[in-house]
Amino acid sequence: MITYNPSKNPRSRNGFSLLEVLVVMTIIAVLAAAIYPVAGKLIRDSKREKNLEIATIIERGVEDFYSDYGYLPIETGNDNQLSKAEVIDLLNELAGLNDSDSSRNVDGKNFIEAIPTASSGRTGVEYAANESISDLISSFGTDFHIILDGDYDNTIQEPFAGDTGKSARKVKGKRSLIWSYGEQDKNAGIPNNAEDLEEPESLSTSWQ
């Protein structure tokens, strides 16, 4: 009786041939190339949305602060962009964390409590040892930028044009403009105008 022994079959083999492996690798590479841009866009859009939420919370906080007190959380005397230190001062006033006698938030209200606390350098506010706000981090690990209506004329000049080729306009009815350049701050530095926005997809603004 003759029995079939697959180990003696010249066609029998273990594993894949080099050609089959290369074909599979090529298919995987093609799929990855197609999926990566889509996944990258979804991640970037999600980060941008988080930044927009924070910008909106700060803007609403400034409006509510003014509605309660009749003045802004910090005085600037102009509509210039706040320095990093001034941004931190603004946030501490809005959060009711300025314990000095010069605090303008006399009732100690927290107008920005909806902003999440940053953990491990992630999105939100960071606190110092004395429990005051020490930093505000965007979802890209970069800064937020703020302009207040420091001259109280209910108008603020845009820091840059909304569309390439157009001049910056005056935004009316706002007591603050808050924005994050997102990846721009990290990769190319702060732009001076719309033409310098190399990462427009990650830009978040409170007024557009």
Q: What is the pLDDT of residue 182?
A: 81
Cβ-contact 178, 206 below 8 angstroms: yes
What residues are paired with 179 via a beta bridge?
145, 205
Give pLDDT tens digits along the chain (208 positions).
555 555 555 555 566 788 888 888 888 888 777 776 666 677 888 899 999 999 999 999 999 999 999 999 999 999 999 999 999 999 999 999 998 889 999 999 999 999 999 976 679 999 999 899 999 999 988 899 999 999 999 999 988 765 545 567 889 999 999 999 887 765 545 554 445 555 567 788 998 7
pLDDT per position as a tens digit, 3-58: 555 555 555 556 678 888 888 888 888 877 777 666 667 788 889 999 999 999 99
Q: What is the pLDDT of residue 185?
A: 63
Q: Is 109 exposed, middle or buried (0-12, 13-18, 19+ CB in 10 A)?
A: middle
Q: Which residue's structure tokens are 């930028």?
A: 145
Cβ-contact 115, 124 below 8 angstroms: yes
Residues 136 and 125: their CA atoms lie apart, in Å, by 4
> How many other CB atoms are found less than 10 A from the CB of residue 92?
23
